[in-house]
Amino acid sequence: MTVDVSAMGIQLKSIVTPHVDHPLTCNIRDVGRLEAMVIRANQCDFAVRVTGQNPSPGSIARRLIALSQQQARQSNSVRVSRRVVPEHTAVQVVLGDGVSVHAHIINLSASGVALLIQERLQIGQPITVGRHRATVTRQIEGGVGAAFLVPLGPSPVDESTRL
């Protein structure tokens, strides 16, 4: 699996990692077949430098850039907060129209919450989880994930946290 591409080479993940200086033929979907040499190897990833000239490293880079521009724009949000399963999972969720529904917390962090909820909520929909305003950011089986408008704090989020 291709992990990263840079001027230094291409980082790949694999169940089997080759030894440094091992020549490889890589087939990257939508880019093509290229000849490479292993320049770094760890337990579950390795890096290669393109050695062949067909396709040229420049054309490989241009193709990868074009493919990245065709991809759907994804959220820049990154999970940085530790998630916990609280002792008290029952919570009231107030929808944008003021309707209050019961939900259960799957997990919780300072930045958001995953909920089991019977209501069908849309991504981007504003909700209030307990006393905390949030926005639905993803749909999961049986529920949703939501990001708090203001992260929880200042005390750390742990199993005893109540919304």
Band the pLDDT of 50: cuts 50, 70, 90.
confident
Least confident of 39-53, 88-102, 131-145: 39-53
Cα separation of 118 and 141, whole Å? 10
Q: Is the pLDDT of residue 64 over 60?
A: yes
Q: Please tell me the distance from the alpha carbon of residue 84 to that of residue 145, in angstroms, as a whole number.
A: 14
Rounded average pLDDT over 34-48: 89
Q: Are residues 133 and 88 in the same domain?
A: yes
- Asked whether residue 37 falls in the same domain as residue 53, the answer is yes
Instruction: Identify whether the C-beta of residue 108 lies closer than 8 Å to the C-beta of residue 85.
Output: yes
80-100 tens-digit pLDDT: 667 888 899 999 999 988 999
Within 8 A by CB and 6+ apart from 70, the residues are none
Residues 59 and 79 in one domain: no
> What average pLDDT does the structure give for the chain?
85
Same structural domain for residues 93 and 152? yes
Residue 144 domain boundaries? 75-163
What one-character DSSP code corresponds to residue 111?
Answer: S
Q: What single-letter DSSP state applies at residue 157? A: P
Quote the pLDDT of residue 62: 80
More confident residue, 9 or 79: 9
| Rounded-to-integer distance, Cα 76 and Cα 74, Å | 6
Nearest C-alpha neighbor of 67 from the set 56, 78, 59, 57: 59
